[in-house]
Amino acid sequence: MTLAAHQATLTLEFPALPSLRVPLPASTGGQPGRDDIAFELGWDHAHHGLVPPTEHLLPANPVRQGWEAGRASFGSRTLKPTRHVRKWLQLRLQAWKRGRVFEGVQVTPHYLAQIDTARCPVTRLALTHATGADTDASVDRVYNDAAYAAGNLAVMSLRANQAKGNMRWDEARTMAVLAEARTTGAGAGTADGLASAEWARMAVLMSFVTPLPHELAATLPLLVLPPNRLRLLNPIQGLQALITLQLTHPGFAARSAQLAALLPGKELRRDYQLLFHSLLPRAWDGGRPVDAQLLRERLEDAWRNPLVLRRWQRLACQISAEQAEALVQRAVARGLGGKLLHVQLHASAQATEGWALETAGYEAPTAAARAPHRAPARRVLQPELRQAAA
């Protein structure tokens, strides 16, 4: 399943005018596909009145050639380079240099604005921008064996991104254990730059976009709420997030009762109520938080409580992946996301469209670093939750 959130905005998007595109010069040489990408990058830099990085300004560089062609075409008629436009160009250039696939239809400056956040979901610290500090915001491919594509991108701090590196989700979980076991010395309670709780949140974040056996996914605590527009590929985690997110906005009691009514059998409904009423007092410990960020953190921390996790596991072990998927579908159909939560369902093939899983996110099949993980064919729909601002 797939889950995500976004600011409710009205956006008008226009296709690029074909007549403005200048063909790539035949003398460029090299790999035509990659040179086309680089030429387009240079063109888009010129379109926004920006100069590409110095390393790409040599005469034979296709980025330079695209930039010069764009400058000749646009002149002074350039577009304003917003922060998200700059990040969009930076990510595309980074993907091209690394031979990574960048899915450019859905991943636009507008999309990057939707996934933007004020705080790192891993460290929980306020994010800065272009300061050179390790708190600077960075856009990360959450699943390392996939492309720069919609549903696989999240904003986090540079420190968290660098610590994650090329790890798998289970390696991040191991780092949480190692950090917790380190009790002495200057790095007590940390491992490779992150504390145990931070590594634990990182592992859960990465698990969302990693197809897992249902029995394993059903055991995981929701230590981090899904960032905006991230896709949850495991149906049971989609249901887990939908239940938890009910508490983030008004009217949760009525919606929770309706959600419980969708469960088959009195025993399941009883187990659901036990879970929900274990989450509620921990989220409202000392009174309901008026700050949305504090409420999210309390909900995440509630999943560290052994009782909450036991009650979730008792409920989840009685629900198959297909049932979890069907429950989310029915909840969406009844509008149980509320006014502030939009749920978008994706067909299984569409959920990872553009992720280049067959090449582990690289452009060329021979460049794949690891064998890709594929979602089981049984999954029919992938939900994406989008949470609007209150």
The C-alpha atoms of residue 209 and residue 206 are separated, in whole angstroms, by 6
The C-alpha atoms of residue 10 and residue 299 are separated, in whole angstroms, by 30
Q: What tokens does 320 get?
A: 């198959």
Q: What tokens does 63 get?
A: 């980025």
Q: CB under 8 Å to 346, separation ≥6 — which residues? A: 2, 151, 231, 381, 382, 383, 384
Q: Are 136 and 158 in contact (CB under 8 A)?
A: yes
Q: In this structure, is the dihedral angle defined by the CA atoms of residues 197, 198, 203 and 204, taken in order, positive or negative?
A: positive
Q: For residue 136, list its beta bridge partners.
A: 128
The C-alpha atoms of residue 224 and residue 173 are separated, in whole angstroms, by 13
H/E stretch holding 384 reads strand 381-387
The C-alpha atoms of residue 206 and residue 143 are separated, in whole angstroms, by 6
pLDDT one digit per residue (tens) for the chain, 390 residues? 444 433 332 222 222 333 333 333 333 344 448 899 999 999 999 999 999 999 999 999 999 999 999 999 999 999 999 999 999 999 999 999 999 999 999 999 999 999 999 999 999 999 999 999 999 999 999 999 999 999 999 999 999 999 999 999 999 999 999 999 998 777 788 999 999 999 999 999 999 999 999 999 999 999 999 999 999 999 999 999 999 998 888 888 999 999 999 999 999 999 999 999 999 998 887 777 778 899 999 999 999 999 999 999 999 999 999 999 999 989 988 888 766 667 777 777 788 999 999 999 999 754 444 444 443 333 334 556 565 544
Helices 321-333, 235-245: inter-axial angle, 10-degree rounding: 40
